[in-house]
Amino acid sequence: MTDTIDRVFAVITDRQKNPKEGSYTNRLLDEGQDEILKKIGEEAIEVILATSSQGDERLISEVADLTYHCLVLLAVRGLSPADIATELDRRYHP
């Protein structure tokens, strides 16, 4: 899983440096942090709805969407998945 997240994050950071016309990631980056936060909120609600009534495949899809949007937010803030891994290590491997 970590390799996949790292690859997705690499695409996001590449889009920051090398914008690609028509890229959804670039549209999010151009819209800025507030719009990314709105998308995260929408995706979080979709995770909740999928959990309550839409089955496991839908839940997986929505969690993937939420994860992607969180990765975009990390990139905008100059953070990375490694920062999250460090925090999780701190919490679970004291």
**HEC string for 32-70:** CHHHHHHHHHHHHHHHHHHHHHCHHHHHHHHHHHHHHHH
Over the stretch 24-38, which tens digit does the pLDDT of each residue have? 999 999 999 999 999
72 contacts 49 by C-beta, under 8 angstroms: no
66 contacts 44 by C-beta, under 8 angstroms: yes
Q: What is the pLDDT of residue 64?
A: 97
Q: Does residue 11 carry a pLDDT above 80?
A: yes
Over the stretch 37-92, which tens digit does the pLDDT of each residue have? 999 999 999 999 999 988 999 999 999 999 999 999 999 999 999 999 999 999 99
Structural domains of the chain, ranges and CATH numbers in brackets: 2-92 (1.10.287.1080)
